[in-house]
Structure 1
Amino acid sequence: MAVPDLGDLSSFMRVADAGGFRAAAQRHGISASSLSDAVQRLEQAVGVRLFNRTTRSVVPTEAGQRLLDRVRPALAEITVAYEGVTQDGEPGGTLKLDVPGVVARHILPPIAAAFLTAHPRIQLEISVTDGLVDVMAAGCVAGIRYGEHIAADMMAVPIGPRRQRYVGVASPAYLAAHGTPHHPAELATHVGIGHLFPSGRVSDWEFERNGERIKVKPQGRLTTGSSDIQIAAAVAGHGILFAFEEFVAPHIQRGELTVLLSNWPQEFDGPRIYFPRSHRRDPALAAFLRFIKAP
C-alpha cells in the first residue's frame, strides 16, 4: 500500500469536520475540487472508500471514521511539533465551539475577548445552539454544555462559574392578582411560562429540599424557547417564570420582577467545555484549556 500524503490526510480531516467538500472549501479558503482530488488520492492509497456521499451529506464510512480517529491526534502532534520551531511556539489554527445561549450571553464573552488578545494566531468560530449537538458531526472541536447533557465518553473541563441557579419570578401585578406561592406544590394552581426545548419537550419545574421532591408541569398560555419572550411575558404579568438567574437579575433589580420560593434553591453545577479524547491535542483547543485553567 502506498504511503498517503500528509496534505491529503489533512484535506480528508477538513472535509469530515465540515461535513462536506463545499463547506470545507469555504471554511479554509481552498477549492472544493482540490479537496475532492485529495480524498480520491487518499482512497486509492488506502484501498477503501472513506466517505458515503449523497446529494445532502458527506459522512465518513466505518473505515473512514477509524482512519479519522487515528489521523486527528497524529496531525495535531505534527502541528504542535511545527509550532515548536516557529513563531516562538505560539499556537495557531481555528477553534470551533458550539455553546448554549446562556453561555454565549453571560459567560463566554469576556473569556473569548481575553483569549483572542492572548493568542493572536488563533481564530474562534462560535455557534449558539440550545439543543444537544454532536460536536463531531457539526465539525466542532469542542462544545460547552451542562453536565446532564454531556456524554460519558467525553472529556470535560469546567468553564465559568462553578455553581449556577434557576430562580422563580413573577411581576408584582401578577402576584397582586393571583397571590404569592409559598410552597412548590402551590405552583400547580398558577399560570406558568413554559420553556420549550428544540426537541419539543417542555421543561418541568423540579424542586428538592430535605428529602422532599416535587415536580410541577407549568400550565399557561405561553411556551417558548426564547428567554427574551419569556421574560417580556413575565414582566407584563402573564405568569410565573423559572429561568437562569443571570437572565432575570436586571429586572429583579429594577423591581419589574419579584423572586419567589427563595427557600427552595435550584442550584446546579456550572457549564463545562467537552470534547472527544482524540481532540485533546488540537493546538487551539489545548491553548484554550490552558487559558481557562490559568489563575
Structure 2
Amino acid sequence: MNDLPLADLDVFAAVARERSFRTAARKRGVSASALSEALRRLEARLGVRLLNRTTRSVTPTEAGTRLLERLSPALGEIAGALDQVGSLRDSPAGTLRLNVPTIVAREILPPLAGRFLKANPAVTLEVTAEDGFIDVLAAGFDAGVRYEERLERDMIAIPIGPRVQRYITAAAPDYLARHGIPQHPRDLLEHTAIRHRFQSGVALTWEFGEGEAALTIAPPAVILANVIDLEVRAAIDGLGVIRTFEEFLAPEIKAGRLVPILEAWVTSFPGPFLYYASRRHMPAPLRAFVDFLKAEQRRSEQ
C-alpha cells in the first residue's frame, strides 16, 4: 500500500470533508467526474469502500472515517511543507552560493553585496573566490562570475560591476632607478617580473596589444604566486615589474609606491558577467540577485 497515489488520497479527503463531489470539484477547478474516477481508483487499490454515494448525499463509511482521521494531519503537514517551498520560490530568502574570481571578490563584489544584503535581509551570501574555471552547478554553486572569454555558451550571462576594466604594468621607483624604464613590452625580457600563477599551476603570460600588433611575453619571474597581496608587496619592495588589474595597483600608484610604465600598452577589456544555467525554477535568492544587478545596471546608465 506504500505506493498509493498521494493525489488520490488528497481527492478522497477533499470530497469526504465537503460531503460533495460537486463542491470539492468547484473549489479545485476540476470536473466532478475526475474526482469520482480518482476515488474509484483509490477504493479499487485498497479493496474497500471509503464513501457511500447516493444522488443526494456523500458520507464516509467506517473505513473512510478512520482513514480521514489519520490522513488529515499528514496532508496538513504536506501542505505546510509545500507552502514553505513556495515561499522560498516567491520571496528572497535562503542561501545564494557564488563562485567568483579574486578580482571580483576583492574589488567588485563587496559594495554590491552590501547593498544587496541590506535590501534582502533574509538572504545568506556564500562566496568562494578562485581564478580557475569550474562547472559551478556540479560544484554546488547557484551562479558564477567570469570574464567573457571564459563563459560557457549555453549559460545565461548578465553584466556585474564595471563594463570596462584595464590591465596595467607598474614597478617601484627604486626598481626603475636601478634597472631603467622599459620602453617596449619586449624590454621586459631583460627585467625580472612578479607573475600570477593559477591554482592549476599555469603561470599567466602577459599579453599586450591586439590583432597583428599583439604580443605575448613571459618575462623571467622572481615570484610566481596566486596571492595578489604577496604580488603587490613584492612589487612595492622593488623585486620586479608587475602587470595586473588596475584596481589592485591604483592605490599604490596614487601613494607613489608604484609607478605606471608602458602606458601606451594598457589593455582594456569588458568587465565580468554573472552567469547561471536557466531562468526556469530559479532559486529565490538568485532571482533577487539577478533583479538587483539589472536595477544597478539601469541606474549606472542613467
* Fold-level similarity (TM above 0.5): yes
Cα deviation, residue 4, structure 1: 8.8
**Is residue 179 of structure 1 aligned with residue 219 of structure 2?**
no
Q: Match of 1:134, SS?
A: coil
**Is residue 129 of structure 1 aligned with residue 133 of structure 2?**
no
Please tell me whether Structure 1 or Structure 2 has the larger radius of gyration of its CA atoms: 2
- Between the aligned partners of 1:205 and 1:262, the Cα distance in structure 2 is 14
- Between the aligned partners of 2:4 and 2:204, the Cα distance in structure 1 is 53
1:267 corresponding residue in structure 2? 268
After superposition, what is the alpha-carbon deviation per residue over 1:98-151, rounded to whole angstroms, capped at 9, x for unaligned? 111111111111111111111122221112222222211211100111112221
Please give the residue correspondences for 1:55-74 in structure 2 after superposition, counting only pairs within 5 Å: none
- In structure 2, relative to structure 1, the CA distance for the partners of 1:79 and 1:151 (3 Å cut) is farther
What amino acid sits opposite 1:249 in the alignment?
Answer: A
**Is residue 120 of structure 1 aligned with residue 83 of structure 2?**
no
2:214 corresponding residue in structure 1? 213
- In structure 2, relative to structure 1, the CA distance for the partners of 1:282 and 1:170 (3 Å cut) is same
- Between the aligned partners of 1:175 and 1:145, the Cα distance in structure 2 is 34
* Stretch deviating more after TM superposition (257-266 or 201-210): 201-210
**Is residue 83 of structure 1 aligned with residue 87 of structure 2?**
yes
Q: 8 Å contact 1:170–1:257 — kept in the other structure?
A: yes
Q: Match of 2:209, SS?
A: strand
Cα deviation, residue 245, structure 1: 0.7
- Between the aligned partners of 2:258 and 2:3, the Cα distance in structure 1 is 68
TM-score (norm 2): 0.68
- Between the aligned partners of 2:270 and 2:181, the Cα distance in structure 1 is 28
**Is residue 193 of structure 1 aligned with residue 197 of structure 2?**
no
1:251 corresponding residue in structure 2? 252
Where does structure 1 lack aligned partners over 5 or more consecutive residues? 6-77
Q: Match of 1:138, SS?
A: coil
Please give the residue correspondences for 1:161-180 in structure 2 after superposition, counting only pairs within 5 Å: 161-180=162-181
Please give the residue correspondences for 1:137-176 in structure 2 after superposition, counting only pairs within 5 Å: 137-176=138-177
Q: Match of 1:125, SS?
A: strand
Please give the residue correspondences for 1:256-295 in structure 2 after superposition, counting only pairs within 5 Å: 256-277=257-278, 281-294=282-295, 295=299
Q: 8 Å contact 2:194–2:241 — kept in the other structure?
A: yes
1:23 corresponding residue in structure 2? none
Cα deviation, residue 280, structure 1: 6.3
Q: 8 Å contact 1:170–1:239 — kept in the other structure?
A: yes
Q: 8 Å contact 2:91–2:284 — kept in the other structure?
A: no
- Between the aligned partners of 1:124 and 1:178, the Cα distance in structure 2 is 46
Cα deviation, residue 279, structure 1: 6.2
- Between the aligned partners of 1:268 and 1:136, the Cα distance in structure 2 is 26
Q: 8 Å contact 1:171–1:237 — kept in the other structure?
A: yes
What amino acid sits opposite 1:275 in the alignment?
Answer: Y
Instruction: Give aligned-pair identity as a percent.
Output: 42
- In structure 2, relative to structure 1, the CA distance for the partners of 1:149 and 1:79 (3 Å cut) is farther
1:18 corresponding residue in structure 2? none
- Between the aligned partners of 1:118 and 1:133, the Cα distance in structure 2 is 30
- Between the aligned partners of 1:111 and 1:3, the Cα distance in structure 2 is 49
- Between the aligned partners of 1:4 and 1:112, the Cα distance in structure 2 is 45
What amino acid sits opposite 2:87 in the alignment?
Answer: E
What is the alpha-carbon root mean square deviation over aligned residues? 2.6
Cα deviation, residue 283, structure 1: 1.5
- Between the aligned partners of 2:212 and 2:204, the Cα distance in structure 1 is 22
